[in-house]
Amino acid sequence: MPAMPFLRITRARWLSQLFFLGLFLFFAFVTQFGYLKGYPVSLFLEVDPLVAVATALTAHAVYHGLLSSLILLIPTLFLGRFFCNWVCPYGTLHQVTGWLFNRRPPPARIDSNRYRRVYALKYYILLWMLVMAAFGSLQVGLLDPLCLFFRSVTVSLLPALDMAGGWIYLRPHSHQLAWVVGLILVGLVAANLIIPRFFCRALCPLGASLGLLSRFSLWRIDRDPAACVDCDLCLPRCEGASDPHTNLRKSECFVCFNCLDDCPHDALRFAFLPDLMREVTGPDLQARRAIFAGLLGVLFYPFSRRSGDLDENFAKEVVRPPASVAEPEFLERCIKCDQCIRVCPTNVLQPAMMEAGVEGIWTPVLNMRMGYCELNCTLCGQVCPTGAIQQIAIAQKLGVGEFADLGPVKIGTAFYDRGRCLPWAMDTPCVVCEEVCPTSPKAIYSREVEIVTRWGERRVLRQPYVDPQLCIGCGICEHECPVVDYRAIRVTAVGETRSPDRSLLLGTAADAPRST
Amino acid sequence: MSGEPIRRRDFLRRAGTTGLVAAGAALGGAWLHDQRRGDGYFRQQREAAAGRLPSYRVDRGSQAPAMAVARGRDPEALVRAAFGALGGMDQLVRPGDVVVLKPNVAFDRPPALGATTSPAVLAAVARLCQEAGAGRVLVVDNPINQPEGCFHKSGIQAAADAVGAEVVLPRPAAFAPLRIDGEVLTTWPMLYEPLARAHKVIGIAPLKDHNLCRASMTMKNWYGLLGGRRNQFHQRIHGIVADFPHMIQPTAVVLDATRILMRNGPTGGSLSDVAAGDTVVVGTDMVAVDTFGYGLLGRDPAELEYLHRAEARGLGSTRWRDQVWREVQVG
């Protein structure tokens, strides 16, 4: 075997992988108040064609930057699933994990990189997701590698890393069920120790979409049967398990070029328009299984919608970020990437588990015990790549100036639980809620009353009320309430601006009295 | 038993290892053994707090003015005139001093809404400290809203950056429990790390209406040095505010009444809640300064409970007219 040249294409590939992994992590790090500046932090999600196609299916529109996903089609149509082994940061994570922890002798590596039927699973997953999307339920984010990786970084990884000295957050951020998101990350990464690149080969719906597209690509790895001695030495480092030792499975090849390095007889080359007889052009799909996967979508959509999460029985505790679109459309647009959760400065945004229905897993909800919605902040809408949370100006959120006719953006309404409230139930002064209420005039007001305590002592104190016309549901009252377990004032979704069927008061938010 | 008898060396090695592990476990257990009963545990928890804050006051003699009022438009000129009338910053800050400035940055609001200390006033005080030779000027607060947003939106961060003062953000590690031994507060977590470095402390409070304690001024401003469960303070708010001049004896306080939050306090939120005040008051007696300030809100200091509680405890005087004080008109 000739010595490998120092400058070779696989070295360039490593540079590219490390660059994009670094860039992804850099964007994830700067997606926070104080670092955000003008960085295009949504770039990775915006060039993700699966996100663009699926949201186009659900919402019948390609939102803002998602058009740039066309860029990714260009290398795919020329080179194949180039993205998977040159760009995808999640793929790089899997590859590096395997390289570090899955050392095996070459014969075992050859076996672990042979194609298996289970690798077709990703196409059925993709199909199920696209059928769901066609009905209006966006589920690609569950497994799309960029959404999945960003979510894992946001919800589990950064808060964990921050524990070493608090270098990320000013005040530590926590996320409900971070351990579940973390366990999924660890589990998928650990799968590399059994089957290399298991996620990329078997589960990844983005890889599946690119695999489908790669049938049109003009270049591919090609084996010269005359030169090949069937030594299988192209397999020990084959990332995609794409059978380079025989007729290449074009849809599975990650274009990592390791086989070109490893072939001792120069029988492999990256060829332009090679012989179609020497390739397996399309994925290994079975029509009846594909129909079954589609049927799962056809059935699961009504199963979830008839669970009632969008109708009368909608989850009352599910308060969505300000300027979110109405819930049915929210589920058409939210890709569960959790960038909003990452950028939220108060830690109020949390990934939902089941509280927003099965379709709403990992979508953002507000937890007022963990934070509150900052009045002069619209960062979640700034970073949302799909318009599930609309990009609005502060003036629009406040309903002032040119937006006065729209009124303020309300995300819910606060209600007192008088049995738990200190001035109402325990003869004790408090009204922290009124103090922190940020609207002007305050939505929370208090009436001075003179009470006689059980010991006959006369005492003057203030008892608080909510003015539902002024309340915007920001939840700072709930967050600051001293009854710290089950708060004495709590925000629920009723009155939210985004859905007319959840309104509370007759009339519009713009009718609310306001100081000029 | 079959096989060869064990050799002495092997026996000693193997039995010795087992013995060492057993001895180590016994010693470790004895070393870590906690014999306290429950009451001992809880009593120690309660008494674990560290020391008290030192006094940051400067002895300027009995004839030095306790308060100076400057009236006029330009905030920087007002601050200079007020400190000048008080006797000059040179009396308060020595060359090389580390000075902590404590503005009120409680809310994520633009400065024009009057919910936070005016950046111009903060910058002017910082500059005076630097001119008096201060080694470092630290700007410290523990806001109610998200801290970075508060410092940014209030303009305090930019003002500090512009004059070369350092903002110290309230990281959890910067807090430590301190003894206060007040009427209500015994020990409480305080934003102690910058205070431990400080030689001088100057409070800079905006003049604000307050929904519960009627007014937020130089005494109430020290709320922002505390951490922990501050939302319990409201249950005994006048006692708490009257504890603050006991908790900390600052070098001086500044009441920023360049604009006044007249209603909907302490958050405000509308320009119609704000009135022009065109006044800066500086002093060494917080009770006197706040009594004067309450008058600027157009209200009667006789009704403000925490002032009288503090006065009754000898922490200051509401009878500012009886003290040495100055008033200057600027421009």
Q: What is the pLDDT of residues A118-135, one digit of tens each?
A: 999 999 999 999 999 999
Residues ≥6 apart with Cβ < 8 Å to A287: none
Q: Which of B141, B145, B273 would you mutate first to test chain A, the one with the most A CBs within 10 A?
A: B145
When CB atoms are compared, the residue of A33, A438, A482 closest to B149 is: A33
Contact state of A516 with B144 under an 8 Å Cβ cutoff = no
Largest CA distance in chain B: 110
pLDDT for A516 beyond 50: no
- Give the H or E element holding residue A151: helix A145-152
Tell me the pTM. Answer: 0.92
C-alpha to C-alpha distances, B234 to A40, B178, B223, nearest whole angstrom: 44, 20, 11
pLDDT at B51: 82
| Phi, psi (deg, nearest 5) at residue A506 | -70, 140
- Give the H or E element holding residue A29: helix A9-30
* Chain A: residue whose CA lies nearest to B168: A170
With helix as H, strand as E and coil as C, how does A399-455 read?
Answer: CCHHHCCCCCCCCCEEEECCCCCHHHHCCCCCCHHHHHCCCCCCCEEEEEEEEECCC
pLDDT digits (tens, 9 = 90+) for A329-350: 999 999 999 999 999 999 999 9
Contact state of B172 with A429 under an 8 Å Cβ cutoff = no
pLDDT at A362: 97
Numbered residues of chain B with Cβ closer than 8 Å to any chain A Cβ: 107-110, 144-149, 152-153, 169-173, 210-212, 229, 231-232, 234-237, 264, 266-273
pLDDT digits (tens, 9 = 90+) for A262-280: 999 999 999 999 999 999 9
C-alpha to C-alpha distances, A287 to A119, A251, A272, A283, A296, nearest whole angstrom: 16, 17, 30, 11, 14
Question: What's the whole-number mean pLDDT along residues A138-153?
Answer: 97
pLDDT at A6: 77
**Cβ-contact A259, A238 below 8 angstroms:** yes
The alpha-carbon gap from A450 to the nearest alpha carbon of chain B, in Å, equals 15
> What is the end-to-end Cα distance of chain A in Å, rounded?
82
Q: Is the dihedral of CA A164, A167, A173, A175 positive or negative?
A: negative
Contact state of B172 with A171 under an 8 Å Cβ cutoff = yes
What's the CA dihedral at A174, A175, A177, A180 to 10 degrees? -90
Q: Which two tokens stand for residue B65?
A: 């003015």
Contact state of A442 with B264 under an 8 Å Cβ cutoff = yes
> What is the end-to-end Cα distance of chain B in Å, rounded?
109
pLDDT at A313: 87
The alpha-carbon gap from B307 to the nearest alpha carbon of chain A, in Å, equals 19
Contact state of B212 with A429 under an 8 Å Cβ cutoff = yes
pLDDT digits (tens, 9 = 90+) for A28-79: 999 998 888 889 999 999 999 999 999 999 999 898 888 889 888 888 999 9
What is the residue-level pLDDT of chain B in tens, covering all 331 positions? Answer: 567 888 999 999 999 999 999 999 999 999 999 887 877 777 776 666 678 899 999 999 888 999 999 999 999 999 999 999 999 999 999 999 999 999 999 999 999 999 999 999 999 999 999 999 999 999 999 999 999 999 999 999 999 999 999 999 999 999 998 888 899 998 899 999 999 999 999 999 999 999 999 999 999 999 999 999 999 999 999 999 999 999 999 999 999 999 999 999 999 999 999 999 999 999 999 999 999 999 999 999 999 999 999 999 999 999 999 999 999 999 7
**Cβ-contact A269, A222 below 8 angstroms:** yes
In this structure, how many other beta carbons lie within 10 angstroms of the beta carbon of residue A280? 17
A395 contacts in B (CB within 8 Å)?
A: none
Count interface pairs A-B at CB distance under 8 A. 99
Q: Which of A413, A155, A377, A154 is nearest to B153 (CA)?
A: A377
DSSP class per residue in A344-398? -TTS-EEE-SSTT-GGGTT-EEE-TTT----TT--HHHHH-SSSSB----HHHHH
**Cβ-contact B198, B56 below 8 angstroms:** yes
* Residue A364 β-bridge partners: A351
Give the span between the Cα atoms of B288 and B56, in whole angstroms. 18
pLDDT for A179 beyond 80: yes
* Residue A248 β-bridge partners: A279
C-alpha to C-alpha distances, A45 to A50, A214, B252, nearest whole angstrom: 9, 20, 53
Q: What percent of chain A has pLDDT over 70?
A: 98
Q: Which of A415, A417, A408 is nearest to A472 (CA)?
A: A408
The alpha-carbon gap from B263 to the nearest alpha carbon of chain A, in Å, equals 9
- Give the H or E element holding residue A45: helix A43-46
